[in-house]
Amino acid sequence: MSQPRCFQDIILALQSYWAEAGCAILQPYDMEVGAGTFHPATTLRALGPGHWAAAYVQPSRRPTDGRYGDSPNRWQHYYQFQVIVKPSPPDLQALYLGSLRAIGIDAELHDIRFVEDDWESPTLGAWGLGWEVWCDGMEVSQFTYFQQVGGHDCHPVSGELTYGLERLAMYVLGYDDGNAMPFNPPDAPIPLTYGDVFREAEAQYARWNFDVADTETLLRHFVDAEAEAARILAEPQTDPRTGRHIVMAQPAYDQAIKASHIFNLLDARGVISVTERQAYIGRVRALTRACADAFLATDAGGRAA
Amino acid sequence: MPDLLIELFSEEIPARMQAQAAQDLRRLVTDNLVEAGLTYAHAGAFVTPRRLTLALEGLLDRSPDTREERKGPKVGAPDKAVEGFARGAGVAPADLERRETGKGEVYFAVIQRTGRPAAEIVAEVLEQAIRGFPWPKSMRWGAGTLRWVRPLHRIVCVLTREDGHEIVPLELDGIVAGDVTEGHRFMAPGEIRVTGFDDYAAKLRRAKVLIDPEERAGTIWNDATNLAFASGAEIVEDRALLTEVAGLVEWPVTLMGRIDEGYLDLPPEVLQTSMREHQKFFSVRDPKSGRITRFVTVANRETADDGATILAGNQRVLAARLADAAFFWRNDLTVAREAKMQPWIDNLASVTFHAKLGTEADRTARIAALARELAPAVGADPDAAEQAAKLAKADLTSEMVYEFPELQGIMGQYYAREAGFPDDVATAVAEHYAPLGPSDTVPTAPVSVAVSLAEKIDKLTGFWAIDEKPSGSKDPYALRRAALGVIRILISNDLRVSLLEDRIISKADLLVAENEDGISGPDPDRYGPDLLAFLHDRLKVHLRDEGIRHDVIDACLAMPGNDDLTLLVKRARALGGFLATEDGTNLVQGFKRANNILTQAEEKDGVEYSFGADAKFADTDEERALFAALDAEGPKIEAAMRDEDFAAAMTSLAALRAPIDAFFEGVQVNADTQIVRRNRLNLLSRIRGLCLDVADLTRVEG
């Protein structure tokens, strides 16, 4: 692979590397999520006995990270590249290092280290052990062996890799200001920087996230999502119309994703107190747990035949 | 006799767990080998990020044969009993021997155990060690069930003899033990076959792996100090960081870089914290100016460009971090200089300290009131103490402390200076958290002492009021540390504060109650004594470390005024010193003898002998000598006690030792004449009274 010249080269290089390595290259999940882990291809597929290998880009949103497009390295909307392989193969570290090579990080010249960093997601009821991977002192990825998701032990264990694409690309491309980084090749007829693509939207979302989003509406939507998930999961597992066994784990999980994102928005609006915070996290966790239970009752989740 | 080499090769082991893991491997393997009869001459344990290594020299080739005899039931005992005995001993009933014992014929079981070869035992012991390894956190991986700190890839397990080496047959969840390991992940990838420890250590060194963490740390420290020295600077020593960094590399390569000019005016603590926490860099200081001008980073490899790319990368990452820090610093300075920190103080009202104990603003108000109260007793100006207390928590809402919580207090001090507050107030802001641990420095400046004491007493009283006391290993609010802080501040500053008597605890209680709903009104007797008992417990632990026996402390705790910890400690130290002398131990003997005789007599007679011993009824020389000694020393002891000069009091007590000994030697207390007997008992009571004025010697052991 030639040295990447722009942001999208990094994405394309990672996609083709992991495609070559045998992963299904999926597309982003079509909902607002805080991180790539929320994609059902990770959260739900990490559960149950089925084998799985997927990689995808996931646009992610963290409303509190908004800086009106003015920060060189923080945006409320950003990209993660996510790889999940179940069971984790014995050579996952080597595969991962190969992916760094594919985006132009030569381990002969750089100092690559695996530094302890355990991962926990209170809203997903999930945790795992692993590292943050350092390249010359900079964190370029998270590397995690999932131990529990949705309150269930993972058997087999999934290996999960998360690349923070902006930071990684800035490092590889040599930009201190992410907005100045080329998004498409600099010699394209219409060259675009990362800032050209996102800066305006960042300002708009920062204003909406911090000051304008209607908290009454959001609170109502949170409760609605919670109620809808409960209603979906309370339906009988046999479809009265077709007589088929259909557990609607993923539609319910969509509601959990919604609730989680609404919680993040409410947090950015500053209307959630420290004590309420724990309670909200607990409510989202209860939702994802219920969805995890439901997924295990599906065929994909390894329902006992 | 063979040597044993074990290596457990895995993905990267967290640095903080490595040292303990090496010790645990050594302990688990050697203990169980010895238990199985396999002794060894010498053991060495090593660890790197990717491997745990154990080398044993001079292991027995096989465990020795053993023979054990067990005596069983009599011949003719019920069959069931005989069978049970045989089963228990692990022999067939037919193999039991019958022996004449003089009390009839008895069954004996002779249990013969043939020794087993080392390989067999090692395999069992190692499997057990791996399966039961006490990692603080462990995990599963792939489709397996084995648990290890991170995926385990290889096991080297070989016995080395003069004529060659033997692989110990062992398989765990598909990992077959062998004689193959791997070198450095990047510099020497690939398999390495080893025959024994010496071969292993030498080959790994060639493969760019230093297995000994001490050697890696030594190399890093050496190279780092040399690099710094060569540029006329010095490394800021940081043991914990050195150990951690040595646990992140197999082949340390030390590199020194510059900090951009633009960041050099950041406070050194900010530079140091940012570099240590985020980058694991050592700080390099200019010895003349005391400023931090460079950093040292430790890479895990050599490169063709001598680390230029690595250093440039690290420098870029640091610049980005410091750009953040400088941004926070500038914003904070504006708040400090232009608004005198007031916005932060206002913000404390929205920072919860504890759901039941209100916000940091509530807490600040309580601490300020208490610091003012305490100020006269510690020699501080009440206004300054109150002022410092009001500022103490302000930096919690500053941007810098939000980013680096460990800089709380230190940033507050900088900002208080910038805001123009007096020096002693600014210093108190930094010092009011101290002492943070048993070896941390104790504040001595009066304003700092007042605020620090108030902060800790408020914390203790608050959590006592809502009944969230530490229990067992649970102490989430670090109340033990707070208690030890109160103790150390009082003692080392020689401060005389009666925590209950002066209503310090109850004042704090009142403040808590005024602030909070749900905590019923102030009741000085409610938990003050319980909190004092907690402080006494911590004091005991503290004094025990100083070598003062628990019974000595108990003897002093039983005295009035024990809510004055400084007085209590003075007494305990004097008593401890006194009891370490021969006079001291003998006097305690004498006191106990007197006390026993008196107590028995008082029980029998139903009266208290406490008054009116008269020298004129004395009819032996020993008796008269004791009267004389008590008359001479008694007033001295009383005077010394009034002056709280415990050492002088004990010296006077020591002078009583010889007359008391002589008295018991030559005089029969229970004389025939009642007058003489009563007089002698009343004399003993004078001894008891004098001694008990000094400390409750009944509680002293021995």
In angstroms, the CA B107 to CA B426 distance is 86
pTM higher than 0.90: no
Confidence of residue B357 (pLDDT cuts 50, 70, 90): confident
A192 and A242 fall within a common domain: no
Q: What is the dihedral of CA A246, A251, A252, A254, to 10 degrees?
A: 160
Last residue of a domain, one of A207, A238, A254: A207
CATH number of B576-699: 1.10.730.10
Q: What is the nearest CA distance from A131 to chain B, expressed in angstroms?
A: 8
Residues of A within an 8 Å Cβ radius of B: 72-73, 87-90, 93, 107-116, 118, 128-131, 135-138, 145, 147, 154-157, 159, 171, 176, 273-275
Give percent of chain A above pLDDT 90: 89
Q: What is the dihedral of CA B169, B175, B178, B183, to 10 degrees?
A: -160
Matching CATH number, B3-62+117-206, of 2.30.30, 1.10.3470, 1.10.10, 3.30.70: 3.30.70
Determine the Cα angle at A79 with ends A73 and A84, to 5°. 130
Other CB atoms within 10 A of residue B261 CB: 8
- Is A179 within the bounds of a domain? yes
Tens digits of residue pLDDT in B565-601: 999 999 999 999 888 888 888 888 889 988 998 888 8
Other CB atoms within 10 A of residue A2 CB: 7
A189 and A235 fall within a common domain: no
Closest listed residue to residue B436, CA positions, set B473, B488, B398, B370: B488
What is the three-class DSSP state of A78?
Answer: strand
- Is A304 within the bounds of a domain? no
Tens digits of residue pLDDT in A81-92: 999 999 999 999
Angstrom distances, CA of residue B128 to CA of B31, B143, B223: 12, 21, 41
A249 and A188 fall within a common domain: no
User: H or E element: which one contains B68?
Assistant: strand B66-74
In angstroms, the CA A48 to CA A239 distance is 22
A116 and A39 fall within a common domain: yes
Residues of A in contact with B16 (CB under 8 A): 116
Closest listed residue to residue B347, CA positions, set B387, B392, B394: B394
Give start and end residues of each alpha helix (H) in B466-527: 479-492, 504-515
| Beta-carbon separation of A90 and B16 below 8 A | no
Closest listed residue to residue B387, CA positions, set B373, B411, B368: B368
Q: B277 Cβ partners below 8 Å, 6+ apart? A: B404, B406
pLDDT averaged over every residue in chain B: 91
Angstrom distances, CA of residue B270 to CA of A191, A292, B281, B325, B448: 40, 44, 13, 8, 22
Please say whether the beta carbons of B449 and B495 come within 8 A. yes
- pLDDT score of B155: 98
A62 and A185 fall within a common domain: yes
A244 and A219 fall within a common domain: yes
Q: Are strands B66-74 and B105-113 parallel, antiparallel or unpaired?
A: antiparallel
In angstroms, the CA A133 to CA A164 distance is 11
Is 60 exceeded by the pLDDT of residue A69?
A: yes
- Is A301 within the bounds of a domain? no
Domain span including residue A229: 214-296
CA A292 to chain centre: 17
Q: What is the nearest CA distance from A115 to chain B, expressed in angstroms?
A: 7
A201 and A237 fall within a common domain: no
pLDDT averaged over every residue in chain A: 94
Which of B51, B137, B141 has the highest number of chain A CBs within 10 A, making it the mutation to test binding with A?
B141
Q: What is the nearest CA distance from B692 to chain A, expressed in angstroms?
A: 54
- pLDDT score of B522: 46
- Structure tokens of B52? 């745990």
Determine phi and psi for B563, rounding to 5 degrees: -90, 0
* Domains of chain A: total: 2
Mean pLDDT computed over A209-218: 93
Other CB atoms within 10 A of residue B556 CB: 29
| Beta-carbon separation of A109 and B310 below 8 A | yes
Give start-end residues of each CATH 1.10.730.10 domain in chain B. 576-699
Is 50 exceeded by the pLDDT of residue A305?
A: no
A234 and A285 fall within a common domain: yes
CATH number at residue A259: 1.20.58.180
- Structure tokens of B279? 């980058």
Please say whether the beta carbons of B418 and B343 come within 8 A. no
In angstroms, the CA A128 to CA B198 distance is 38
| Beta-carbon separation of B352 and A274 below 8 A | yes
Determine the Cα angle at B647 with ends B646 and B652, to 5°. 95
- In chain B, the residue whose alpha carbon lies closest to the alpha carbon of A133 is B12
CA A276, A280, A286, A289 torsion: positive or negative?
Answer: negative
Residues of B in contact with A73 (CB under 8 A): 320
Is 80 exceeded by the pLDDT of residue B347?
A: yes
Last residue of a domain, one of A180, A207, A234: A207
Does domain B355-536 sit in CATH 1.10.3210?
yes
Confidence of residue A18 (pLDDT cuts 50, 70, 90): very high
CATH number at residue A74: 3.30.930.10
Which single residue is written with the structure tokens 């052991």? B701
Residues of B in contact with A155 (CB under 8 A): 140, 143
A40 and A128 fall within a common domain: yes
CA A12 to chain centre: 18
Residues of A in contact with B15 (CB under 8 A): 115-116
Q: DSSP letter at B414? A: H
Determine the Cα angle at B376 with ends B372 and B382, to 5°. 35
- Is A183 within the bounds of a domain? yes
| Beta-carbon separation of A176 and B304 below 8 A | no
Last residue of a domain, one of A181, A207, A233: A207
Tens digits of residue pLDDT in A241-277: 999 999 999 999 999 999 999 999 998 887 887 667 8
A280 and A152 fall within a common domain: no
User: H or E element: which one contains B285?
Assistant: strand B282-285
